[in-house]
Amino acid sequence: MIEFNDAFLIAWHLVAGADARLSGIVMLSLRVSVAATLIACVVGMPIGALLAVGRFPGRRALIVLFNGLMGLPPVVVGLLVYLLLSRAGPLGSFGLLFSPTAMVIAQAVLVTPIVAALTRQVIADEWTEYREQLRSLGASRGRAAATLLWDGRFSLSTAALAGFGRAIAEVGAVMIVGGNIDGVTRVMTTTIALETSKGDLPLALALGGILIVVVLSINAVAYALRGWAERRWG
Amino acid sequence: MSPWLAIDRLSLTEGGTRIIDHASLQLAAQRTVVLGPNGAGKSTLLRLIHGLLHPSGGALNWPRKLTQAMVFQRPVMLRTTALANVIYGLKLKGHATDESRRRAMESLARVGLEQIALRPARLLSGGEQQRVTLARAWALEPELLILDEPTASLDPASSREVERIINEISASGARILMTTHNLGQARRIAEEIVFIDRGRIVEQTPVAQFFKLPQTEAAQRFLKEETP
Amino acid sequence: MISRRQFCSALAACSMLAAAASHAQERFITVSSTTSTEQSGLFGHLLPLFEKASGVKVRVVALGTGQALDMARRGDADVVFVHDKAAEERFISEGFGVRRQEVMYNDFVVIGPKADPAKAAGKDILEGLRRIESAKAPFVSRGDKSGTHAAELRYWKAASVDLDKAKGPWYRDTGSGMGPALNTAASMNAYILADRGTWLSFKNRGDLGVIVEGDTKLFNQYGVILVNPAKHAHVKQADGQKFIDWVVSADGQKAIADYKIGGEQLFFPNATR
């Protein structure tokens, strides 16, 4: 396929030439997805920990719900957030539609269940190991959840990374709530979709390659950090 | 000596199996060791007394509520320093930060670990970790310290160190209730032996007498099998 | 070593900061428009000129004409810039738009395999479509309620082809934008109705070429409408009107005429002032 060669060359030229528009798009992608992941962690991790540790009616149903919501279609999330933020919608007066903030909200909604479900898994494993000791020391379930979240911080980085990967790779939600406005809400995935629809497949492929490299680099750095931290703290 | 705990027909059933079967017992000794074959229900009995498990029948009667701490076979260390692990227990009991820190340091010093107080707890050896859990328990100044086979996964040197600490905790006033597979250790620590088999209390005998001649056949058989 | 409390508060602070930082203030209007104007590169050429003249930034959300009008109906745009006269007039009569002004036209072309198996080539759009239908040659339709889709349906009707009856495997309803539909046509070697601008800037052509062009019926009129502030109070009336005034002004019209791809003019200004 001739396109792969073209794509590689184009990608090389874009990166080597430090293309300003490209770096703007990459930075916006990172900013939006990092912000969404942070929000998802702040919201989703305590939820996941409480689902792992807590004992309350409806807990099992909630676990199934969050596991199911991991497969939430981005387009549906996009549409829901769009209808919420649209001027005619309940949150329309804030004028957030077609802004990076709207994209952060949509991605946070998309990613929170993933972070919560993966966190629950990690914390549930820890809880079986720690449960008796923590209860013996008199930790309430809420306190135990907080302790396990902190104690599982290195393993939980995987949950955060999974969420981030999903956020930065999705196109459906940000396309709808961001509008793919040049210079304002155009991120890597929407640019790729746009170039594909313009029939510029080599450019689209090149951008896709850059996206993959960015995501891989972040994962590699996180993996190295986690390894270092685990050697440091056991 | 009046008992500090009277156990009255205590039972625990799980999935149709009686793990503890109408156990009645008066605990009065300063140091009691629970002996019995594998699966006799030793650990379960300890957990029922500590409140980690709820009995399906019977009652625990405490003449006076005792503050308790428990040490488990496998040390559970949080991913932080040894010191912070000890502080954690104190803070859960509502002690202020400064006070917790001071008491935690003292406690680590008593178990001989003040030098490594700031080392990551998870990277300590098994013996050191178990000493941190003892420091964590001791810092709470419990009136009753429960230990579930605290030296089962330790080498002999570490075991002796843990024994020394248990004796010191006892000397500082805490009652000791523990299980062990090490008969020598039981003989060194216990004042009184409680022997259980298949969830039932078989006998309760002063330590010297138990090791000379147990009152029941089951205990005699146990001693014969366990002694090389 | 950082403590747990420091870590958690830093995390919370970061996420709030990240959420807030992405909400910068600048003077802008939102224009809902069509993929043809955006993807042909016209806006990339026009908007910097307008922004320089007015100091108002223009944010373009490119959709099909139907979606673009719906977006404006919900109040999510200040100005619509689309190409489906009937739909635009309906939009005005419903009270969502203030006034429709014509800006420019471009033309549609029928794209198809260069070998032209249906022998549709020529100047007559209606005859061309009839031949495609009778040959049952593969034809890709946008099927997305866009202006181009609406135009396609009008041409079939004018050519007396009853699509409901004639529809078969040869007629592929893709429900996608101009670019994706062209990608589909290229991979299937099918005929398709496209606007010339998108076609000229389209790269993945395969064996396709222009089959029918030059029929006056193929002219495609663009209109621009200010969303009615009486319906949506937050509409940026002054800046929106400024944009409309500029595109129909002599400067704006000249800028439109100046935009060329490969020496070929794409849009022909014809504003009614």
Tell me what pLDDT residue C13 has. Answer: 67
Residue A209 lies in a domain: no
Residue A224 lies in a domain: no
CB pair distance less than 8 Å for A151 and B88: no
Give the whole-angstrom CA distance, residue A80 versus residue A77.
5
Is there a single domain that holds both residue C114 and residue C203?
yes
Is there a single domain that holds both residue C166 and residue C254?
no
Number of independent structural domains in chain B: 1
Can you spell out the DSSP letters for B129-168?
HHHHHHHHHHHT--SEEEEESTTTTS-HHHHHHHHHHHHH
B28-55 pLDDT, tens digit each: 999 999 999 999 999 999 999 999 999 9
Residue A100 lies in a domain: yes
Length of chain C: 273
* DSSP conformational letter for B51: T
CB pair distance less than 8 Å for A151 and B79: yes
Residue B124 lies in a domain: yes
C4-53 pLDDT, tens digit each: 666 666 666 666 665 555 455 679 999 999 988 888 889 999 999 999 99
Neighbours of chain A (3+ CB pairs under 8 A): B, C
- Is residue C251 within 8 A of residue C53, CB to CB? The reply is yes
Give the whole-angstrom CA distance, residue B217 versus residue B225.
12
Q: Give the E-state strand segments of C11-50 in sequence order.
A: 28-34
Is there a single domain that holds both residue C260 and residue C158?
no
A97 — contact with chain C (CB < 8 Å)? yes
C183, C203, C218 - which closes a domain: C218
B-chain residue closest to A132, CA distance = B52
Closest by CA to C113, choosing from C213, C218, C215, C210, is C210
Burial class (CB in 10 A: 0-12, 13-18, 19+), C164: exposed
Is there a single domain that holds both residue C225 and residue C145?
no
Which residues in C lie closer than 8 A to residue A97 (C-beta atoms)?
Answer: 76
B136-179 pLDDT, tens digit each: 999 999 999 999 999 998 999 999 999 999 999 999 999 999 99
Closest by CA to A132, choosing from C227, C202, B76, is B76
Neighbours of chain C (3+ CB pairs under 8 A): A
Per-residue tokens: A68: 């199911």
B83 — contact with chain A (CB < 8 Å)? no
- Is residue A169 within 8 A of residue A189, CB to CB? The reply is yes
Residue C18 lies in a domain: no
- Please list the pLDDT of chain A residue by residue as tens digits (234 residues): 567 777 777 777 777 777 788 889 999 999 999 999 999 999 999 999 999 999 999 999 999 999 999 999 999 999 999 999 999 999 998 999 999 999 999 999 999 999 999 999 999 999 999 999 999 999 999 999 999 999 999 999 999 999 999 999 999 999 999 999 998 999 999 999 998 888 888 888 888 989 999 999 999 999 999 999 988 888
Number of independent structural domains in chain A: 1
C218, C235, C250 - which closes a domain: C218
Is there a single domain that holds both residue C53 and residue C115?
no
Task: For residue A150, give the nearest of C4, C60, C62 by CB distance.
Answer: C4
Q: Which of A197, A203, A225 to mutate to test the interface with C (most CBs of C within 10 A)?
A: A197
Sorting pLDDT into bands at 50, 70 and 90, what band is C206? very high
Alpha helices in chain B (DSSP H): 42-50, 82-92, 97-110, 126-139, 156-171, 183-189, 207-212, 217-226
Which residues in A lie closer than 8 A to residue B77 (C-beta atoms)?
Answer: 234
Residue B89 lies in a domain: yes
A-chain residue closest to C181, CA distance = A197
- Is residue C251 within 8 A of residue C233, CB to CB? The reply is no
Tell me how many residue pairs between chain A and chain C have CB atoms under 8 A apart.
Answer: 100
Give the whole-angstrom CA distance, residue C129 versus residue C142.
15
CB pair distance less than 8 Å for A99 and C23: yes
Residue B25 lies in a domain: no
Residue A16 lies in a domain: no
Residue C20 lies in a domain: no
- Is residue C191 within 8 A of residue C185, CB to CB? The reply is yes
CB pair distance less than 8 Å for A233 and B120: yes
What distance lies between CA A118 and its chain's CA centroid?
Answer: 12
> By residue range, what is the domain housing residue B93?
77-141
Task: Please report how many Cα atoms fall inside a 13 Å half-sphere around the Cα of residue B133, on the Cβ side.
Answer: 29
Residue A210 lies in a domain: no
- Is residue B61 within 8 A of residue B8, CB to CB? The reply is yes
Is there a single domain that holds both residue C246 and residue C208?
no
Is there a single domain that holds both residue C262 and residue C135?
no
Is there a single domain that holds both residue C230 and residue C101?
yes
C46 to chain A, minimum CA–CA distance in Å? 13
C-chain residue closest to A191, CA distance = C39
* Mean pLDDT for chain B overall: 95
- Is residue C106 within 8 A of residue C266, CB to CB? The reply is yes
Residue C4 lies in a domain: no
Tell whether the torsion through CA atoms of C21, C24, C29 and C35 is positive or negative.
negative
Is there a single domain that holds both residue C134 and residue C197?
yes
Residue B30 lies in a domain: no
Close Cβ partners of A166 (under 8 Å, ≥ 6 residues apart) = A110, A111, A114
Burial class (CB in 10 A: 0-12, 13-18, 19+), C265: middle
Residue B160 lies in a domain: no
Q: Which of A133, A149, A226, A230 to mutate to test the interface with B (most CBs of B within 10 A)?
A: A133
CATH of the domain at A175: 1.10.3720.10
CB pair distance less than 8 Å for C11 and A42: yes
CB pair distance less than 8 Å for A234 and B69: no
Residue C185 lies in a domain: yes
C185, C202, C218 - which closes a domain: C218
A-chain residue closest to C176, CA distance = A197
Q: Give the E-state strand segments of A117-204 in sequence order.
A: none
Per-residue tokens: A174: 């940000």
Residue C30 lies in a domain: yes
Number of independent structural domains in chain C: 2
> By residue range, what is the domain housing residue A122?
28-200
CB pair distance less than 8 Å for B120 and A153: no
> By residue range, what is the domain housing residue C145?
107-218
